Amino acid sequence: MQELLELLYPPRCLGCQLPGCQICPRCESELESFIKVPRVAGKPLYSALHYNEASSHLILAAKESNDRAAARYLAALTSMRFARLHREIPRTSYLLVPIPSSRAADFRRGFAHMTVLAKLIARAVESEHHVSCSVSPLLLPTRKVADQSELSARDRALNMNLAFTVNPKGRTARSGAGIIVVDDLVTTGSTITEAIRALKVANFEPDALLSACVAGRFLTNKISRSIRVDTR
């Protein structure tokens, strides 16, 4: 079946659309892995990639075009980064809590991007690391927030102040699992800091933060061209 689908719909590079491959050597070489573990609001942040032109194509394809191949690729890379999280914060099970988009954005896209990505990450984590990993959309937006792309760090923090709450139906869904807040992109940390605040108010204590990409002041190094990710 897979062979027939590839015959009918040949794969194209997720970055530049070059036919015949999922990601071409040039685009793969431009992905920059993120190996540091900074702390955001006191919690360690584990991230797979630095945000640049190459990784932005992946995020935009997954987020705005519902490209599941791009989402699976991001999830696979993020799962690889999860390996260090699991070594340093070992748990027998994990609960991934995705950062929510606005209701308007979910309606426009027709799907909840971060919930989809978090579920793909959970599936990859269970497959690769053999631990129980589930997703709980505990966080809910409380109000409309401004587009953050042109805001300063200070304005982003003000924009996200009290922007999230915890779903009352999720308050009893505690399993003793490690709680991991998940986002696709961390820039100044204002969104993920607000998520931590909202969870703590509801007596959930996050153990760590996990993201596909980070932007801004973080240092990077190249992903090896030899890395190949199984995204089936």
Q: What is the CATH number of the domain that holds 65?
A: 3.40.50
Q: Give me the pLDDT at residue 95, please.
A: 95
The answer to the question of residue 134 being in a domain is yes
The count of structural domains within the chain is 1
The answer to the question of residue 71 being in a domain is yes
The answer to the question of residue 78 being in a domain is yes
The answer to the question of residue 232 being in a domain is no
11, 19 Cβ separation under 8 angstroms: yes
Least confident interval from 90-99, 100-109, 125-134, 214-223 = 214-223
Least confident interval from 30-39, 167-176, 192-201 = 167-176
The answer to the question of residue 229 being in a domain is no
Q: Give me the pLDDT at residue 42, please.
A: 93
The answer to the question of residue 6 being in a domain is no
Backbone angles phi, psi at 12, to 5 degrees: -130, 150
User: Which amino acid appears at position 156 of this protein?
Assistant: R
User: CA–CA separation, 19 vs 163, rounded Å?
Assistant: 42
Q: Is the pLDDT of residue 69 over 50?
A: yes
Q: For residue 76, give both structure tokens.
A: 């696979």
Range 211-221 average pLDDT: 68
Q: Is the pLDDT of residue 205 over 50?
A: yes
The answer to the question of residue 23 being in a domain is no
Cβ neighbours for 53, distance < 8 A, ≥ 6 positions apart: 30
Count of CB atoms situated within 10 Å of the CB of 188: 20
Range 91-117 average pLDDT: 90
The answer to the question of residue 184 being in a domain is yes
State the pLDDT confidence band at 196, using cuts at 50, 70 and 90.
very high
Domain that holds residue 216: 31-222
Q: Is the pLDDT of residue 227 over 70?
A: no
Read off the pTM. Answer: 0.85
Q: Give me the pLDDT at residue 217, please.
A: 56
